[in-house]
């Protein structure tokens, strides 16, 4: 699968979602598993972006 570039957020999510499946019609259990994986990735991304960034040296 090539790299898909789009500025449309819905198309981008759809391309990412399709990349997780091996067939065009996955069973419901695989679909739910993938949704949970994407949710976990998103939570980690949000949490890591909310952490304060340290600049300079730490006080002793």
DSSP for the chain, written as a single string: ------S-HHHHHHHHHHHT-SSSS--HHHHHHHHHHHHHHHHHHHHHHHSPPP-SPPP-
Q: Tell me, yes or no, whether 25 lies in a domain.
A: yes
Q: Tell me, yes or no, whether 43 lies in a domain.
A: yes
Report the number of distinct structural domains present in the chain. Answer: 1
Q: Domain limits at 18?
A: 9-50
Give the pLDDT of the chain (60 residues) as one tens digit per residue: 456 666 788 888 888 899 999 988 999 999 999 999 999 999 999 988 877 766 666 666
Q: Tell me, yes or no, whether 59 lies in a domain.
A: no
Would the pTM count as exceeding 0.85? no
Tokens of 31: 């679909």
């Amino acid at each position: 699968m090539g790299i898909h570039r789009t500025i449309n957020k819905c198309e981008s999510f759809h391309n990412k979602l399709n990349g997780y499946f091996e067939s065009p019609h996955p069973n419901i259990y695989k679909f739910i598993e993938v949704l949970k994986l994407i949710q976990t990735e998103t939570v980690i991304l949000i949490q890591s972006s909310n952490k304060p960034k340290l600049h300079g040296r730490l006080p002793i």
